[in-house]
Amino acid sequence: MSYPLSYPEPVRSALETTAPHDGEKPSMAPVADTPARMLRIGDGPMLKCVVLEGPSGVVLYGTGESHRQGRSIARAVAEEIGKPVKAIIYGERHEDQCSGTNGVMAELPTSNVLVIAPSGWDEATPTHARAVAPVLALRAAMQYGTSLRETATRGSELSRTLRGEFSGSLVQPTVTVRPGQELKLAGMRIRFFATKDQAGGIGLYLAESRLAVLSTDMCAGLDNLIGVQGPPEQTTREWRTMIHSLQSMDIEHLVGTRFAPARGAVMIREQFDAYLDAIDYSHDQSVRHILAGASPDELFDLVDVPEPPSMFCHPLQANFKGTAAGYFASYLGWFSGNAVDLKPTPRRKRSRNTVELMGGAERVLQAADEALTAEDPQWSAELARMALDSGTSDKEARAALCRALHALGDACPNPLMGGWYHGAALEAGGEVDLAAVRDLVERADALSAADVLNGLRFRVVPEAAEDVTVTIGVDVLDTGERFGMRLRNKVLRIQTGTPPEWSAGIATDQRGLGSLAFGDRSIDELAACGEIEILGDPEPVEQLWSAIGPRPRLAVHS
């Protein structure tokens, strides 16, 4: 089995196929006469792994999305190739690319395997980025709404998907490499090149085979490089850098962890040109309209997919129009430039006022049904959302919003945007609780004690912290770590080590700290059962903890 043409890989959601069970071996397809092989379970999507067979062993570029997939990959390599795995390469730090490493290692006779990652791997992730990661995961999961619509247990299905994506900590690399560096692995000479700025991602080039290997979505369509939310300007620069690097290489075969292989130097070069033209068209036309005073909302209608479209520019997974708004935010920030938008009326107040002017919620919902009948589901959804935000006719407004969102999803040719519409309808109808799923994701992400404590910074309630200045210490007994928590001017700061002004604190293990932070039990309840010990004067501890609010309810469409 081979892939001679670079047709787009069919877009499937994670809920349409399950991770391979123990013992289920993926099929292995060679890529022409190169060392590369692709893996697939039945007729499902390809696994996020490219197998490279060298004279003395095997190199894995990516290890799949889960522990089970990693085991299946290792078993397939052992049965089909029979050579030892010499190295594992992470193309980028992404859970769906390298969550199977533990599973691979479990199947190998030795743990003496190089785990290679880009040099930017060890750069510290900002605290705020870790804090919002569960919300980003939820946003990604909303794209699976098309499949969720067909299941009876939608909330548990969404939870199961996210549990699979966050099923444990990643195996840390033993070696980091920089773009331009070359290594000989399993008898193959491999050169690394950058796929992201600051060495945050690496691709592979095997000159002898004229083969390039990527961990991004080059072949499936331009929109795979563009998130539903639109990319920042930095992403555009990364695309250009990566494509210019690829254009400088003699490439006959292009393979990756997320797309079907492409073959033919001329066709691949034309594909790169199509990408660059489409990327620059989107960017340059966005700036053109920005210079003419267009607002982010107006850019959605002014910048479209370039004509004539190539096979790589059809909208498959994301929102090409949203890219223009992303450029606006990168260059100019949130403000549209229109003075009326400097301090807009709060959305709910605006909705109440508008609904009253339109004759009340009943008339607005009637208009929403009329718009849906007239095949204008977008206007129907906006009217229903307005009625819902106004705080009147809650049940009827939710039902109208669900109908409109499902209609938008049914009519959308873009599978991930369509899934988002359906997922939004399920949340608006109360069938999916995003807060519960977010909590599941965060718990499964194996947060360190420092991450847990830093996450509390974003839960300080200003009214409860009024005139409070207090410092406490935190001893994490099972790891030996010590931290200081200082609340001052309604801002919580976390420091490593025992604070010099320490006069009170708590001692617990990571489990107790997690229970406290996630709100499972109060500090008094944990102290009563001996899971937390109050050190010194309890009053400062109570003062600080009373200023930290409960975990917020997360609801986007309801």
Element (H, E) at 280: helix 265-291
How far is 37 from 47, CA to CA, in rounded Å? 11
DSSP string over 309-339: PPTTSS-SSS-TTHHHHHHHHHHH-S--S-G
How far is 427 from 141, CA to CA, in rounded Å? 12
Q: Note the pLDDT of residue 2.
A: 30
HSE toward the beta carbon, residue 229, CA cutoff 13 A: 11
Q: Are 514 and 499 in contact (CB under 8 A)?
A: no
Q: What phi-psi label fits residue 360: left (phi over 0), alpha (psi between -120 and 50 degrees) or beta? A: left
Q: How far is CA 98 from CA 107, 108, 195, 215, in A?
A: 16, 16, 16, 11
308 upstream amide cis, omega within 30 of 0? yes
What is the residue type of 154? R
Q: Note the pLDDT of residue 8.
A: 34
Q: Encode pLDDT of 420-473 as tens digits.
A: 898 889 889 888 777 777 777 666 556 788 988 998 999 999 999 998 999 999
Question: What is the value of pTM for the model shown?
Answer: 0.79
The DSSP secondary-structure symbol of 228 reads: T
| SS3 call for 481 | strand
Element (H, E) at 58: strand 57-61
Q: Encode pLDDT of 188-217 as tens digits.
A: 999 999 887 656 789 999 999 999 999 876
How far is 537 from 108, CA to CA, in rounded Å? 53
How far is 547 from 469, CA to CA, in rounded Å? 11
Would the pLDDT of 265 be above 90? Answer: yes
Q: How far is CA 510 from CA 88, 228, 504, 516, in A?
A: 31, 36, 19, 10
Would the pLDDT of 17 be above 90? Answer: no
| Domains, in order of start, for the chain | 447-546 (3.30.1050.10)
Q: Encode pLDDT of 95-153 as tens digits.
A: 678 888 999 999 998 878 999 999 887 665 666 667 777 777 777 777 766 666 666 66
pLDDT, greater one: 228 or 90: 90
Would the pLDDT of 488 be above 80? Answer: yes
Q: Are 327 and 287 in contact (CB under 8 A)?
A: yes
How far is 63 from 101, CA to CA, in rounded Å? 6
Sequence-separated (6 or more) residues with CB below 8 Å from residue 34: 206, 209, 211, 253, 255
> Between vectors from CA 287 to CA 283 and to CA 288, what angle results, nearest 5°?
115
How far is 75 from 22, CA to CA, in rounded Å? 10
What is the residue type of 185? L
